[in-house]
Amino acid sequence: MDPAVLEDIEVVALSPSRASDFKSCPQLFKFRAIDRLPEPAEPASALGTLVHAVLEHLHRLPNDLRTEHRAQELVQEVWAAIRDAEDQAGLLFTRQQEKEWIEQARKLVTNYFRLEDPVSIEPHELEWWVEHETASAFLRGIIDRVEVVADGEWVLTDYKTGPSPSETYAFDRFFGLRFYALVCWRAFGRLPKQLRLVHLREPEVITLVPTPQMLEGIERQLEAIGSAIRRAVQREDFRPRPSYICNWCPHKAICPAWEVPQALAPTNGL
């Protein structure tokens, strides 16, 4: 392994997605965070990028211009702006596929207006970059939206374009927002009043009230992940953890867990 990588990893940089990668499969974390292997653009992730950008643009408009009609105009405008961006270069559509994909985005935007009235929302921050360094990790990432409500408390909102989780897995889906709530608490001294997952496909809003104990728990978890990553680097041991997510992994073809063993040589009966 490159010595420069070993030096850089002394302070482990973690976002919610990278922490989740390591929890689910250390080998996937290595492919993405250390080897930095390219990954093909995927329609689902590109859909999320488009809808997030539309909602960001919408909330930056004056309140009286945040209409559903304007939001639908933004779908086409924003897509035209990002369609040829480098990170979308591998996203190839036929004309019919692109039309159907845009219709998915339009439906998600329509569903947003079933959940919230953007005219009444006064965002404090949009697509806000936050960071905080702990003993074992450098926590960083982007919060979709932060509001300061009437009592001065903070509310963090995250838009989701994928399927809503079952009741069993709902708390796990808050991992990213709990991560950001911890950063807000430690970096700015503000324990958020509420965490909101705005699921646009169903649509529905799921909320969680964070507590100091909850955030101390995720802090310990992230410290443990940071320490485990450093040990994995020192030992050059990122063991794959096969699971159902392998079905969607773009690096399955080169993953050690899926190498095809060589056929045994014939013994001629000996």
70-120: pLDDT as tens digits: 999 999 999 988 876 655 545 656 778 888 999 999 999 999 999 999 999
Span between the terminal Cα atoms of the chain, in Å: 43
The distance from CA 74 to its chain's CA centroid, rounded to whole angstroms, is 23
* pLDDT score at 153: 95
Rama region for 36: left / alpha / beta (φ>0; ψ in -120 to 50; rest): left
Q: Mean per-residue pLDDT for 250-256?
A: 93
Distance CA 119, CA 211 (A): 30
Fold of 122-221: Lambda Exonuclease; Chain A (3.90.320)
Predicted TM-score (pTM) of this structure: 0.88
Residue boundaries of the structural domains of the chain: 43-119, 122-221
> Collapsing DSSP states into helix, strand and coil, what is residue 222?
helix
Enter the tokens of residue 226.
Answer: 């940071």
pLDDT tens readout for residues 204-227: 999 999 999 999 999 999 999 999
